[in-house]
Amino acid sequence: MRNIKITIEYDGKEFNGWQKQLNRLNIQGEIEKAIQTITGEKIELIGSGRTDAGVHAFAQVANFKINSNFPIEKMATAINSQLKQSIRIKKAEEVSENFHSRYHCHKKTYMYIIDNSEQGTAIYRNLTYHISQPLNIENMQKAVKYIIGEHDFSSFKSSGTSSKSSIRIIYDAKVLKEQERVIIIITGNGILYNMVRIIAGTLVDVGLNNIEPEEMEKIIKSKDRQKAGKTLPPQGLFLKSVEYEN
């Protein structure tokens, strides 16, 4: 069977998350239906991981097995012709039969965008989270460094997570200021449920000078969700890229 890898952009606002579920619009289900329409085959789409309702993706990765000899170079355009504009297949590639978008995922990068203007933004209101009080960027930049490395991130995961281990490696983590935006970018070998949104919420506490940057280390070590900040809302969160080893 052929194994097809697709790279997908989507506007999370329009869906109840990635995962297939009955009677609720979801990204996985919409793409599976579109592929069935163009190839006539019922396929199972394997995503690199789920994203929650409201979370966006610039480049989610998924794969599916298929018998159809539909030409690969026409596949992205054909699938898109069956989808709403709020999902776009950016690329479709033929990969080796053993490629698995979840098991073989090597690194994931997420981005959280805060609009830090006084009055908020009309144009990007569904693509940012608004905080009107000025954030102390320098302190946020100090604090975010503590999450780099291998840690047990129990303090930054929502209860009800199915993952067995809470240990993850964070390769890079930074806070950037671009005009009125504060952008948090985190790259890791895996991300726990709600982890980026809780880290972002904790960094906001630092930015508002409610806690010192050095607190971040203690919060990690406590392994206590209660010590960390609140879970920020989904509309500021973007899955930026998913990387695989060649």
For its own copies, the binding residues (CB under 8 A) are: 9-11, 56, 58, 76-77, 80, 85-91, 117-123, 125, 127
Closest to its own copies by CB, 7 or 231: 7
- How far apart CA 55 and CA 81 sit, in angstroms, is 23
Least separation in angstroms between residue 37's CB and its own copies is: 17
How do 87-95 and 105-115 pair as beta strands? unpaired
**With respect to its own copies, which residue has the nearer C-beta, 1 or 123?**
123
Rounded-to-integer distance, Cα 111 and Cα 1, Å: 35
Q: How far is the CB of 12 from its own copies (least distance, A)?
A: 9
> Cβ of residue 7: shortest distance to its own copies, in angstroms?
10
Give the span between the Cα atoms of 134 and 124, in whole angstroms. 19
Closer of 37 and 222 to its own copies (Cβ): 37
- Environment class of residue 224 by beta-carbon count within 10 Å: exposed (0-12), middle (13-18) or buried (19+)? exposed
Q: Among this protein's residues, is 52 annotated catalytic?
A: yes
Helix (H) or strand (E) holding 206: helix 195-207
Cα(185)–Cα(144) distance, integer angstroms:
10
Q: Which of 52, 152, 172, 224 is catalytic?
A: 52
Torsion of CA 70, 75, 79, 81, to 10 degrees: -100
Q: How far is the CB of 85 from its own copies (least distance, A)?
A: 5
CA distance 78 to 128: 31
Nearer to its own copies, 140 or 185 (CB): 185
Q: Which residues are catalytic?
A: 52
